[in-house]
């Protein structure tokens, strides 16, 4: 079950959100979005990551600070990842590359992480019972 987090927005409000994790189909890169969960049904709040048409290393993605300037603080506050020191320009915007914490993402959005990790070929270690002969 996904955990609810609080996002302090750029407008001074607080939104209750949950992570959405998947992959960008064209580059098979990590997608992270937010769903607002305060209402009757979850509703898409925004995209944490941005698709720049070039694959970043596994568990890395460019963060959309253009549309969500408060997102870097959110990532740091919840130990979701860390800035790599690299960025990429697209148009007039510069997007920082983050290495996300896979353990924390699995904790917060297990189904989404399973989908993403399956798409990049990461197999979870299965507990095997010893065979009795």
Distance of CA 11 to the CA centre of its chain: 22
pLDDT, residue 38, reads 80
Give the angle 111-62-59 at the CA atoms, nearest 5°. 40
Confidence at 126, pLDDT banded by 50, 70, 90:
very low
Predicted confidence at residue 127, as pLDDT, reads 39
Neighbours of 51 (CB within 10 A): 16
- This prediction's pTM: 0.87
DSSP-assigned letters across all residues of 2-69: PPPEEEE-TTS-EEEEEEEEEE-TTT--EEEEEEE-SSSS-EEEEESEE--SSPPPTTEEEE-TTT-T
Would you kindly state where each structural domain of the chain is located, as residue ranges? 5-115
pLDDT in tens, 28-86: 999 999 999 987 888 999 999 999 988 899 999 999 999 999 999 999 999 999 999 99
């Amino acid at each position: 079950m996904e955990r609810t987090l609080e996002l302090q927005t750029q407008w001074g409000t607080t939104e209750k959100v949950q992570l959405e994790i998947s992959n960008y189909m064209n580059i098979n890169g990590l997608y992270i979005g937010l769903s607002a969960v305060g209402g009757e049904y979850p509703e898409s709040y925004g995209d944490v990551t941005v698709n720049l048409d070039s694959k970043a290393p596994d568990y890395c993605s460019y963060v959309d600070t253009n549309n969500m300037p408060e997102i870097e603080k959110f990532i740091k506050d919840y130990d979701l990842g860390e800035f790599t020191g690299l960025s990429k320009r697209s148009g007039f915007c510069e997007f920082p590359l983050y290495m996300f914490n896979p353990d924390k993402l699995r904790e917060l959005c297990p189904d989404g992480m399973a989908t993403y990790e399956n798409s990049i070929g990461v197999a979870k270690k299965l507990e095997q019972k010893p065979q009795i002969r």
